[in-house]
Amino acid sequence: MTAAEPDIDAFTRPYWDAAAEGHLLLRRCRACARPHHYPREFCPYCWSEDVHWVRASGRATLYTWSVVHRNDLPPFGDRVPYVAAVVDLAEGPRMMTEIVDCEEAVLRIGMPLTATFRREGEGPAVPVFRTVQLSGATQS
Ligand SMILES: [Zn+2]
């Protein structure tokens, strides 16, 4: 274990199990119908405990980002520079994450992103995002 690995307990286990299979999960409230992230055991909007897991589309847009050039916490020290980002998921929740496989120069606020998962050694698959490759000239 390193300091940067997520805590996995009985509550968050479904989230990490889904991540291992390449799916991002959100928590959605049956009382007010709003999804949220990160996962909580009750709805942060109406406090209902009638909250269940739903699979997210993995689509998001870039809200803001920061290139991190120094981080002494393992494993980040081996990874710098990296792009720490906040993204708006298509379902609504805002999520802190990392942008991978992307030059900083191409990053734009509002650009479309898609979820991918980083696997390192024995650790859990961690959801990160990459830019959407627009193929062809037919984007609308
Ligand atoms: Zn609610």
Let me know if residue 8 belongs to a domain.
no
CB 58 within 8 A of CB 77: no
Residue 111 domain-assigned (yes or no)? yes
> Which residue range forms the structural domain that includes residue 42?
13-131
Q: Does residue 77 form part of some domain?
A: yes
What residues are neighbours of ligand 1 (ion), with CB under 5 Å? 29, 31-32, 43, 45-46, 48
Asked, for residue 44, whether it belongs to a domain, the answer is yes
What DSSP line would sit under 99-125, residue for residue? Answer: E-S--GGG--TT-EEEEEEE--TTSPP
Specify the DSSP class assigned to residue 16: H
Q: Where are the beta strands (DSSP E) in the chain?
A: 25-29, 35-36, 51-55, 59-68, 82-89, 94-99, 112-118, 126-131
For residues 33 and 43, the answer to whether their CB atoms sit within 8 Å is no
Q: Is the pLDDT of residue 133 over 80?
A: no
Q: What is d(CA 75, CA 98) in angstroms, rounded to the nearest whole number?
A: 14
AA letter at 23 = H
Q: Of 6-10, 34-38, 47-51, 65-69, give the lowest mean pLDDT range.
A: 6-10
The Å distance, Cα 51 to ligand 1 centre, comes to 8
Q: Residue 134 — very low, low, confident or very high, per pLDDT cuts 50/70/90?
A: low
More confident position, 38 or 136? 38
How many folded domains does the chain comprise?
1
Q: What is the pLDDT of residue 3?
A: 46
The answer to whether position 57 is within a domain reads yes
Residue 37 lies in a domain: yes
CA of 45 to the centre of ligand 1 (A): 5
Whether residue 125 is contained in a domain is answered as yes
Considering the domain boundaries, does residue 6 fall inside one? Answer: no
